[in-house]
Amino acid sequence: MHFIRSKILIIALLCTIGIIQGKPIRSSASNLKAYIKYLLNITGVENEYTRFLSYIKIHPPEDIKMKALYNELFSFDTYVSDLTEIYVKYYTLDDVIQLINFYSSPLGKKTLQLTQELNRQMEDIMLTKISDYIFTLIENGFDVVLPQIPQ
């Protein structure tokens, strides 16, 4: 009798382990994507994406069909979904949680606040170097063809 009870207990335990082991994979993948979306939200990716779209001058057209295509390709939700799929390739759930913890910390918040200003200052430095380089080329007799700025 003891052998039968032990056998039933072992079978029940193995079934439970099989069920438990299968669940985290699915919920972990959906949790990972949810955490990534939260991370993207707290890091201000929407502002960067808006800035990027305005920089490359892509705006929704007036035509209804083309506007629908624009929204399908360039909406912020589409961008976040695409970016989330990229993050999934490189980050584990633990990685993303650590990033969230960092960006929620005082140092992380400071980093987020300063990143845009640091990038702006670097752009200014690079533009100054580029202009100095172009002027030096011209002074030394080299022809410099500058790109046309679209109107």
pLDDT at res. 63: 84
CA distance 84 to 40: 8
- Copy the structure tokens of residue 91: 């980050």
**53 within some domain:** yes
CA distance 45 to 47: 5
- Copy the structure tokens of residue 126: 């690079």
* pLDDT greater than 60 at residue 43: yes
* pLDDT greater than 70 at residue 18: no
Structural contact between residues 96 and 39, judged by C-beta atoms closer than 8 angstroms: yes
Same domain flag for 30 and 99: yes
- Copy the structure tokens of residue 22: 């299968």
The pLDDT confidence band at residue 150, using thresholds 50, 70 and 90, is: low
Same domain flag for 38 and 99: yes
CA distance 107 to 113: 10
Report, as an integer, the average pLDDT of 99-123: 92
**52 within some domain:** yes
Same domain flag for 122 and 81: no
pLDDT at res. 151: 66
pLDDT at res. 144: 80
* pLDDT greater than 50 at residue 32: yes
Same domain flag for 66 and 116: no
Tally of domains within the chain: 2
Report, as an integer, the average pLDDT of 100-111: 95
Report, as an integer, the average pLDDT of 132-150: 83
Taking the whole predicted model, whether its pTM rises above 0.95 is answered as: no
Same domain flag for 31 and 48: yes
Report, as an integer, the average pLDDT of 26-44: 85
3-class state of residue 20 by DSSP? helix
Helix 93-104 to helix 2-42 angle (10° resolution) is 40
CA distance 132 to 33: 46
Same domain flag for 60 and 100: yes
Q: 122 is in which domain, residue-wise?
A: 106-136
**131 within some domain:** yes
* pLDDT greater than 50 at residue 89: yes
Same domain flag for 70 and 39: yes
**110 within some domain:** yes
Same domain flag for 48 and 110: no
Same domain flag for 95 and 131: no
Same domain flag for 98 and 110: no
- Which of left, alpha, beta for 40 (phi over 0: left; psi -120 to 50: alpha)? alpha
